Amino acid sequence: MTRVAIVTGGTRGIGEAISMALKEQGVSVAANYAGNDEKARAFTDRTGIAAFKWDVADPDAVQAGVAKVEAELGPIDIVVNNAGITRDAVMMKMSYADWKAVIDTNLGGCFNMAKATFAGMRERKWGRIVNIGSINGQAGQYGQVNYAAAKSGIHGFTKALAQEGAKFGVTVNAIAPGYIDTDMVAAVPPEVLEKIVARVPVGRLGQAHEIARGVAFLCSENAGFVTGSTLSINGGQHMY
């Protein structure tokens, strides 16, 4: 049978690589996106993967979006919670709005997507949820109390939901990427990026497809005994 997956933030960067990796495994993929219609159309033209627009921070939009995917592709077996934003600032300069936006999207989006799909996975006795955390949720990062808190929360969310899904054949895992060569990292000033790379033992940035391979494994039949785990893919930058 063909599995059906939703990848949030699935049309660009790491999300695009994940969408492609799952498609290559024979999964029917729906790539969610939040705003850029032009880039989403280009993604679909390039990959043949359908793109669906909704804001993961909006519970009603998530319910409607998931229902639309199910109507077009079938019941959802796999959810990859990849959608994320940054609103970086030190505490003294961070606004309440920037705090709330990052928490609502990066962490709240995981809850909203699970809320819309978990019951069906339980009923069908099979499911895969993979949440994309971050090295900065594990180790912290100056100027990112909102982002670090949200990503750290994802790791706790993963462990708790894994316990609820285990006896129903639903696994819940997380991946914590290090610094990956994407648009988000490209926006970092070169002198800062140089210092970051100097702290990575393998001596380079990661590639999006390296994260996607980890996701593809956790979403596969072969990963049925892996749940509640966080897989760190960071070139050795943070180990614990």
- Residues with a catalytic annotation lie at 147
- Rounded to 5, what percent of the chain is helix, strand, coil? 50, 15, 30
- Asked whether the beta carbons of 150 and 103 are under 8 A apart, the reply is yes
Q: Which one-letter DSSP state was computed for residue 85?
A: -
Provide the 3-class DSSP secondary structure of residue 81.
strand
- Asked whether the beta carbons of 177 and 135 are under 8 A apart, the reply is yes
Q: How many CA atoms lie within 13 A of 129 on its CB side?
A: 35
In a 10 Å sphere around its CB, with 0-12 CB exposed, 13-18 middle and 19+ buried, how is residue 21 labelled? buried
Provide the 3-class DSSP secondary structure of residue 30.
strand
